[in-house]
Amino acid sequence: MAITIMVTPGESSDVRVTETAAQPVRRLEWQLAQVREIVVETYRVKSLVLHVANWQGHLSGQHVDIRLTAEDGYQAQRSYSIASPPEDELLTLTVERVDNGEVSPYLVDDLRPGDQFELRGPIGGYFVWTAAMGGPLCLIAGGSGVVPLMAMLRHRDRRKIRAPASLLYSSRSLDDVIYRAELDAMAHCDSHLRVVNMLTRKQPAGWMDRRGRIDKALLAETCFPPQSWRTSQHFWWNLDMTRSRSRLNASDLQEDRHHD
């Protein structure tokens, strides 16, 4: 089933998107995940590298539910995107600390290697990309919304796929760019991958990349130039885990431009 909706990511931009409803999945059971490694990504973001004994695999773009249980029996549950590609043996989740949150402060500040917590997954079917889908591939993210898109880029890299791909990534400042070093290295080694960083609030001296917010003009320039409207493209938009994730294709943007 296909559902056409309107998403307004900012005051100056709206794009038409098409979402495909996920198919029913088998019942998922809670299982224990053990922390093997913790990677500091930014001053408020960490990646948790986990061993899950009975993990059955996942697709790039899926997520898991995490459940924490207090000593008095109180439980809190949240969803987090998977950052690791299907090729990795260990499961990686990237978590941004949310002030006054119930789950993320514990995961970012208190968790240590060897600790365990419950999770279930993978969850989600429409917001995925696999090597078999090919390209070109255009990814757009804001803040921690880059996490599932990074799983896609890592999957693309592991499979040595060289179809054209681009990532438009909006962050408040350079210090807020998650996976900055890895993304730079990916783009340096792959001439078919373009990474465009947008800094919305603070730019360092000599900043040569983009400023401000992602808008339709930038989309048309980097992801959907007019000459590409008749080609097949895969387009993923993800601001963060609290907003809907959407997939577009070139004809959607072309249709929207007619209303300008």
First-to-last alpha carbon distance for the chain, in angstroms, is 29
Domain-located, residue 186: yes
Rounded CA separation 16/218 (Å): 16
Percent of the chain with pLDDT over 70: 75
Cβ 178 vs Cβ 39: under 8 Å: no
Boundary residue ending a domain (102, 123, 144): 123
Residues 194 and 228 in one domain: yes
For residue 6, is pLDDT > 80? no
Evaluate if residue 239 carries a pLDDT over 50.
no
pLDDT at 93 over 70: yes
Average pLDDT over residues 19-24: 43
Examine the fold and report which residue of 79, 103, 123 is the final residue of a domain before the chain moves on: 123
CB 156 within 8 A of CB 250: no
The whole domain housing 106 covers 31-123
Q: Are both 99 and 136 inside the same structural domain?
A: no
Dihedral angle sign, alpha carbons of residues 113, 119, 120, 123: negative
Q: Which residue has the tokens 């968790």?
A: 111
Question: Tokens standing for 183?
Answer: 């993304």
* Same-domain status, 130 and 148: yes
Lowest-confidence segment of 76-80, 93-97, 144-148, 255-259 by average pLDDT: 255-259
pLDDT at 230: 46
Residue 153's φ and ψ, nearest 5 degrees, are -65, -35
What is the band of 224 on the pLDDT scale with cuts at 50, 70, 90? low
Residues 171 and 84 in one domain: no
Residue 227, pLDDT score: 54
pLDDT of residue 234 exceeding 50, the answer is yes
Last residue of a domain, one of 103, 123, 143: 123
Asked whether residue 75 carries a pLDDT value surpassing 90, the answer given is yes
Rounded Cα distance, 226 and 12, in Å: 21
H/E element holding 216? helix 216-222
Do 198 and 238 belong together in one domain?
yes
pLDDT mean over 231-254 = 41
Residues 162 and 253 grouped into a single domain: yes
Mean pLDDT of the region 216-228: 65
Evaluate whether residue 174 is within a structural domain: yes
Residue 217 and residue 110 in one domain: no
Cα torsion 20, 193, 255, 9: sign: positive
Between vectors from CA 256 to CA 254 and to CA 260, what angle results, nearest 5°? 110
- Give the predicted TM-score (pTM) of the model: 0.78
CATH no. for residue 201? 3.40.50.80
**Dist CA 226 CA 224 (whole Å):** 6
Residue 244 counted as domain residue: yes
Q: In this structure, are 81 and 164 located in the same domain?
A: no
> Could you give the number of structural domains in the chain?
2
- Identify the helix (H) or strand (E) that includes residue 180: helix 180-189
Closest CA to 57 of 33, 35, 88: 88
Local confidence band at 138 (pLDDT 50, 70, 90 cut-offs): confident
